[in-house]
Structure 1
């Protein structure tokens, strides 16, 4: 591409008209700050026909003039100089990098990216944890790799980070795949904020994901946990909360806001924190019993505390002591981790247990999704363990 063209660029929930130029390794993306709305801007014309728009033409001609100046002077065009040219030679409004301040590093921008994601995710703990974990790992990677924007714009960055994740962090393929996806989102964030432009092939890099082995509890194991009579007054509430989450498939972020839920005719109704859809969960006898034990004020615990305590309680009373093998894929090799069943149980396994037990009773997905808040069947399937086939007759009654 040797001439600039008009292009649509999405930034957040808005779509802007931009001037885009690419030739060899030179890329320029100039945001005109014109929000594109096909319903109001030259209605009836195709986007290609919009080139006749005088405003668009002025932006195109200005960038073309800059490129001509670069060719005459034998200089390579770049983003920063293009914006400066537009500012000094026209009255068009562009945003230049702030001067007089120390230049922000890649890690400074990644912190900004994380801060924006935290606002977007709200109190959704598990999603925040993924971003914060990557931030910590990237800082460790930066100590030896010395991240720069030039290095980010090289495909070797992804290969180096992939190898670092396998060798230094011990990550499995699915974790590396998720982190690579977040890093590509970070590159788009930098482009949207006109920090720099990246080669298109970087966004095609990926690590194949593999279907994870889902760890779930069967009804006998749930009974073993719930009906154990050895718990003290501090341990009983922890177990009750965990079992309640099994009975309702509630995400932890929804459990944190359970005070916003209402119960009508033994049906729990709440707006799902993540998907913003309403969930409706029929409460079985066990769930109702737990709520009544605490006068419908379920004890509140932090996610990390709950995970730590259930593992400690299981070990203390030797619960879920059956041998268990979990397979996973690391750098395309299938590996196995062995231990006791309790070693693989976390709070989030309550959700996969609920879904798996109902599916194994041939409960239609159309009945499960209103309870879990899932919008896509494909997402729901990631929680299921189709190898488990317990003989259950009354939902998850214990």
Structure 2
């Protein structure tokens, strides 16, 4: 018998201390997890009743949204099992998502189509933003009684929607900016299909606050590299993929797609998906050693691990390796700047590997023009993003060059 339960995920607490609310669906020993789009503080969740409590006037509204999604999932389950009694969990999940976002609206139907088409050409992380956007738009519709259509995406909608993201969903300015950019990408798509009569959406402003890019030191890389993971194969795979990025400078998406045929004469053939620059990267001893663990006769070099899953467990690995240096983090919400200190391991992501390679290469004396080629960048200006965060390297060079003076 199919069951649906609601829970919060303490293991996925965000930078604001909020826990995501998930629906856990189980059927015939299999299950899937659905993020409802809502996040709350732990004290605002009743574990036994599986509902929100004392949420600044939004309690009834959010519980209604959760109940609505739960009913939709159960209805989708009942309907598909009626048509096909042997349907598996994946089929039920697809039926649920199809029902969740159709709602008789041309806008949401087109957005769902846009997301499906994007899976073929966009990065996994980009598609994830699109999926989050469609959930947020539905939550906004339900919460503000705003019926979204291609005809009312104007400045009033923009003000209300961004206000909802900031005040109700507690999004930071950068997160809001990311979602508005995703929305504009879809609206350009819809405009090309002649579904819109206005281009008001061009005025939807986005402002991303540049944040320092995190890199690891030589000592931190060594501790992670030598971490004993013989009893945890999954963590060992994630660690090795991350370390391969640290010693080659490859993006996570390029590493996951790396095929055995792309490795010839101790070199890696990489084609940058944005600049289309073809690069042959010679492998150092570390890269060869890591790759040797996984290389088969054909297919991909490494096991496939989703970026989101890797990001989650990299924090665990960082903690195990004792990467705990306090890092000051500035969070921009509206016109407020909230500063917090976090242990460094909480900030590690798959991107950290590429930044680490750049920082350590510059620190070791690699010429910037050579590093540009390795990273697949077009100009020296593009490299500044990587050198910006490398303050230890900058500090060393600025002091060392003057320490050599004799006056």
TM-score higher than 0.5 = yes
Conserved 8 A contact 2:227-2:321: no
Deviation at 1:367, TM superposition (A): 1.9
Deviation at 1:210, TM superposition (A): 1.8
- Aligned match of 2:333: 330
Structure showing the higher helix proportion among its residues: 2
Contact (CA 8 Å) 2:151, 2:197: kept in 1 or not?
no
Partner of 2:220: 221
Aligned equivalent of 2:204: 205
Q: Which is worse superposed, 217-226 or 161-170? A: 161-170
Residues 361-389 of structure 1: per-residue CA shift (max 9 Å, x gap): 56444322332233465554444414232
2:288 corresponds in structure 1 to: 288
Tell whether the 8 Å contact from 1:165 to 1:171 is kept in structure 2 after alignment.
yes
Residue 218 and residue 252 in structure 1: after superposition, are their counterparts in 2 closer, same or farther (change >3 A)?
same
In structure 2, the partner of 1:371 is 374
CA distance in 2, matches of 1:367, 1:210: 29
So what's the TM-score if we normalise by structure 2? 0.62
Q: CA deviation at 1:318?
A: 5.4
Q: Where in structure 2 are there 5+ consecutive unaligned residues? A: 1-102, 398-407
Contact map agreement 1:270 1:278 (CA 8 A) in 2: yes
Counterpart of 2:129 in structure 1 is: 130
Aligned to 1:255: 255
For 2:143, the equivalent position in structure 1 comes to 144
1:345 pairs with 2:348: yes
Alignment gaps of 5+ in structure 1: 1-101, 393-398
Q: How does 1:176-195 map to 2 (within 5 A)?
A: 176-195=176-195
Any idea what the Cα deviations from partners look like across 1:96-144, whole Å, max 9, x if unmatched? xxxxxx96432222212222322332xx222222222222222222222
TM-score after normalising by structure 1: 0.64
Distance, in Å, in 1 between the alignment partners of 2:151 and 2:392 is: 47
Equivalent of residue 312 in structure 2, options 288, 303, 308:
308
The offset of 1:264, in angstroms, is 3.9
Question: Hey, what's the Cα distance between the residues in 1 that align with 2:141 and 2:185?
Answer: 18
Pair 1:293–1:185, CA change in 2 (3 A): closer
Classify the secondary structure of the residue corresponding to 1:388.
helix
Partner of 1:46: none
What secondary structure sits across from 1:276 in the alignment?
coil
Give the Cα separation in 2 of the matches to 1:216 and 1:343.
13
Higher relative contact order (CA 8 A, sep 6+): 1
How far off its partner does 1:346 sit? 1.4
Mapping of residues 39-54 of structure 1, within 5 Å: none
Give 1:24-35 correspondences, 5 Å limit: none
Could you tell me how far apart the structure 2 residues matched to 1:322 and 1:136 are? Answer: 36
